[in-house]
Structure 1
Amino acid sequence: MTWDEKEEWRQKFLKVLAGFRLLDDDFMTAVFQESLECVDLVLQIILNKPNIKATKAIVQDTLKNLHGRSVRLDIHAWADGQEFNVEIQRSGKGALERRARYNSSLIDANVLLAGEDYDKLPESYVIFITETDVLGEGQPMYVVRRTIEGSGTVFGDGSHIIYVNSSMADEDSPLGRLMHDFRCTRAEDMHYEVLANRVMYFKETEEGASAMCEAMELLTDEAEKRGMERGMERGMEQGKESERIFSIRNIMANLQLTAEKAMDVLSIPKSEQARYKAML
């Protein structure tokens, strides 16, 4: 791209950036990266443990099983001898019950060294923060534990799965205020200062906004490159159309964006967006 084209793309992206929320995967990644304070806040409120402090956190951490099948953890954290995976999911498909089981199993599989006893396994938590009520029972939070049938006694294997339904943002509770903040687009509307400051940095400072623009430009370039390759595979006549469809889908998946926002990032004219949306 020429300098003018890059500047035009940057201005369009800044408009898209203004609409990002912590429920948008890549924006959440930027906000939580290198910010243990943000991780602490989420764990403290969801677990109702005001004193818990993370000693380490990795965003977009990749774990693999023995067959090479990998999973990318949005937030992988350690605190007070426990291990945590926090997942941000806008689509119900990404938060299926067996996805929670799989994440939990991979965390466990990567803990013990050869010869170590099973009682060395730490307590583990897989926490899904979802845009909609994935489990469909109208609760703001679902705490899932294994129990013994008949007695209902908790089976103490140390694994925990929690679903947080962000659509129930009751601002009279700490959890509701946190979910309100996850759905906010403006830092000034947020309740928790530690989150508001990070959002403000990436949206309202030149340094932070430029960092987001550079990261998104790399992702967009990669999506377009892969789209071009896919288009070439399908023939020259349909190549451009295939390229754009693949790029839109790639941006939607990687950035957790709506089709409209993805097409804005790719600078697809508004007059053409309805046609491409119908083909998705």
Structure 2
Amino acid sequence: MDNNSNSCYTKRKPFEELTLADDFLFCKVMQNKRLCKELLEIILHVKIDKIEYTESQKVLDDVIDEKSVRMDVYVQDNNHTVYDIEMQTSNTKELPKRSRYYHSCIDKSQVSKGEPYNKLRKTYVIFICTFDLFERNLAKYEFDTICKQDKNLTLADDRHTVFVNAQGVTDDQKLKEFLDFLRDGEVSKSPFILDLRKEVNYASKNSKWREEYDMLLAREQLLVEEGRKEGLVQGIEKQKQDTVSFIQKMQEKGLSAEEILASLSSGELKQN
């Protein structure tokens, strides 16, 4: 969810206007294992037996500068391959460098001090963008580490980065149908797209998720009203991450939405 940190102070949509292109709703829809697995198969042209969620949203910390990122959809398959899927609607011009940072965070979370490097798993960092980052009109840009002197020689570091472009052109019918739905809400007769629309409709009517979204909005508005000018973007993003964790903890304790909002307003989050 770090993907919107550069525009997090911009007024967000009301919950009822969210679409699959909004990271909050995308995260909720991708909690459906079957749909998440099929989307990965469509994007990567791989066959996956099953996926598992390590957490609903994975938080990875950099112990050096305490910078943390909350990844939208973080899953692994039965072969221990790791997939991070990010929804991106703002072209912040930093995505290539951010993908590098995400890979480094994932790697550091897999290997402890003294352990062999061959424990590192195959990883995919995937950005689904509503814009064309590279302006080549391709629907998908895939990057591996390739030898400059011999383009047929690939470095076997098992690190893969993919940028999906909702504005791009493709002959891949399944990918095209997904991008048409993401971009324009166009619904084909594909079982995957029909099920995806059904899940989006379900998510948009989920009262618990509406409460969670409204609480995040309320917290962001409080931060803006407090006038955090120095480090505004970073401060709000850190508070967003803390708020998500706080809300989830309070929900696990059985507190109502009203009680959680009261706790946020009273400053209980800062005390924790």
State whether structure 2 residue 173 is matched by structure 1 residue 176.
Answer: no
Shift of 1:141: 0.6
Which structure has the larger Rg over C-alpha atoms?
Answer: 1
Kindly indicate whether the alpha-carbon contact (under 8 Å) linking 2:177 and 2:188 is maintained by their aligned counterparts in 1: no
Write out aligned runs for 1:12-27 (5 A).
Answer: 16-27=14-25
> Which residue does 1:53 correspond to in 2?
50
Kindly indicate whether the alpha-carbon contact (under 8 Å) linking 2:99 and 2:125 is maintained by their aligned counterparts in 1: yes
The amino acid of 1:138's aligned partner reads N
> Which residue does 2:243 correspond to in 1?
none
Shift of 1:38: 2.2
> Which residue does 1:40 correspond to in 2?
37
Distance 1:149 1:164 in 2: 24
Number of residue pairs matched by the alignment? 220
1:70 to 57, 60, 68: 68
Shift of 1:16: 4.1
Note closer, same or farther for the CA distance 1:94–1:54 as it changes in structure 2 (3 Å cut): farther
Kindly indicate whether the alpha-carbon contact (under 8 Å) linking 1:43 and 1:52 is maintained by their aligned counterparts in 2: no
SS of the residue corresponding to residue 82 of structure 2 reads strand
The amino acid of 1:87's aligned partner reads E
Distance 1:24 1:16 in 2: 11
Kindly indicate whether the alpha-carbon contact (under 8 Å) linking 1:81 and 1:122 is maintained by their aligned counterparts in 2: yes
Deviation track 1:57-106 (CA, whole Å, cap 9, x = no partner) reads 53432101122111121111101220111111011217521101110111
Kindly indicate whether the alpha-carbon contact (under 8 Å) linking 1:187 and 1:200 is maintained by their aligned counterparts in 2: no
Query: What RMSD over aligned residues (CA atoms) do the two structures have, in Å?
Result: 3.1
Deviation track 1:101-121 (CA, whole Å, cap 9, x = no partner) reads 110111001101343321121
Write out aligned runs for 1:1-280 (5 A).
Answer: 16-33=14-31, 35-67=32-64, 68-79=66-77, 80-93=79-92, 96-152=95-151, 153-168=153-168, 173-185=173-185, 192-203=193-204, 205=205, 208=206, 210-230=207-227
Shift of 1:127: 0.6
Please report the TM-score for the alignment, with normalisation by the length of structure 1: 0.69
Amino-acid identity (%): 24
> Unmatched 5+ residue regions in structure 1?
1-12, 234-245, 255-280
> Which residue does 1:265 correspond to in 2?
none
Larger mean Cα displacement after TM superposition, 59-68 or 48-57: 48-57
> Which residue does 1:262 correspond to in 2?
none
Note closer, same or farther for the CA distance 1:93–1:77 as it changes in structure 2 (3 Å cut): same
The amino acid of 2:82's aligned partner reads E
SS of the residue corresponding to residue 58 of structure 1 reads coil
SS of the residue corresponding to residue 230 of structure 1 reads coil
Shift of 1:154: 0.7
Distance 2:54 2:162 in 1: 19
Note closer, same or farther for the CA distance 1:27–1:189 as it changes in structure 2 (3 Å cut): farther
SS of the residue corresponding to residue 110 of structure 1 reads helix
